[in-house]
């Protein structure tokens, strides 16, 4: 009976612990509000807290002539979601599988407007908040079963 009570207690505690990590990650995402510059100084990313604090909009502006892209972050119960509005026309949705105040790992959940089953799309995103002024993003794309990773380092624009 004692074991059952401990097991039940653990099961009831796990969702709360997941929420605590998500809460810290969500607050960290909101703290990114402002404009950030890429290492080359030619690309920027801007974070805006929108919808009465219920979403964070990321606007990525690569060097011309590349088009800008938007990623929207929001809560989904005890989880975090990211929807990337890609310049190639599809919209992958990713769910955070591991999150705390410093690192948020988003994994592919589903996608809309994929041109073909093996078409190019973003599958994973890791956001690493190094400190108040330094941010790293690790984007993983998939096409025809082959993964490629790109790492972007950002510094807060003062």
**φ and ψ at residue 114, rounded to 5 degrees:** -75, 130
pLDDT of residue 3 exceeding 80, the answer is no
Label residue 21 by pLDDT band (50, 70, 90).
confident
pLDDT of residue 4 exceeding 70, the answer is no
pLDDT of residue 18 exceeding 50, the answer is no
d(CA 132, CA 143): 34
pLDDT given at position 158: 86
Grouping H, G, I as helix, E, B as strand and the rest as coil, residue 123 is: strand
**Close Cβ partners of 116 (under 8 Å, ≥ 6 residues apart):** none
Q: Which helix (H) or strand (E) holds 119?
A: none
DSSP 4-70: HHHHHHHHHHHHHHHHHHHHHHHHHHHTT-EEEEETTSS-EEEEEEETTTTEEEEEEEPSTTSPPEE
pLDDT given at position 73: 98
pLDDT given at position 20: 62
Taking only the tens place, the pLDDT of each residue in 40-90 is 889 999 999 999 999 999 999 999 899 999 999 999 999 999 999 999 999
pLDDT of residue 2 exceeding 90, the answer is no
**Close Cβ partners of 98 (under 8 Å, ≥ 6 residues apart):** 21, 104, 105
pLDDT given at position 22: 86
In order of their start, the domains of the chain are: 2-156 (2.40.128.20)
pLDDT given at position 10: 33
Taking only the tens place, the pLDDT of each residue in 108-149 is 999 999 999 999 999 999 999 999 999 999 999 999 999 999
């Amino acid at each position: 009976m004692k074991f059952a009570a401990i097991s039940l207690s653990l099961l009831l505690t796990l969702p709360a612990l997941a929420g605590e990590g998500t809460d810290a990650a969500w607050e960290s995402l909101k703290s990114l509000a402002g404009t950030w510059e890429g290492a080359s100084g030619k690309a920027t990313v801007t974070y805006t807290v929108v919808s009465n604090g219920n979403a964070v909009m990321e606007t990525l502006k690569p060097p011309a002539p590349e088009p800008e892209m938007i990623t929207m972050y929001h809560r989904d119960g005890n989880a975090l979601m990211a929807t990337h509005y890609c310049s190639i026309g599809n919209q992958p949705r990713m769910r955070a599988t591991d999150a705390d105040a410093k690192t948020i790992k988003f994994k592919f959940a589903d996608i809309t407007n994929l041109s073909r089953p093996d078409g190019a799309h973003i599958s994973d995103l890791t956001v690493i908040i190094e400190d108040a002024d330094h941010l790293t993003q690790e984007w993983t794309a998939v096409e025809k079963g082959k993964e490629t990773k790109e790492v972007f380092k950002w510094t807060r624009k003062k």
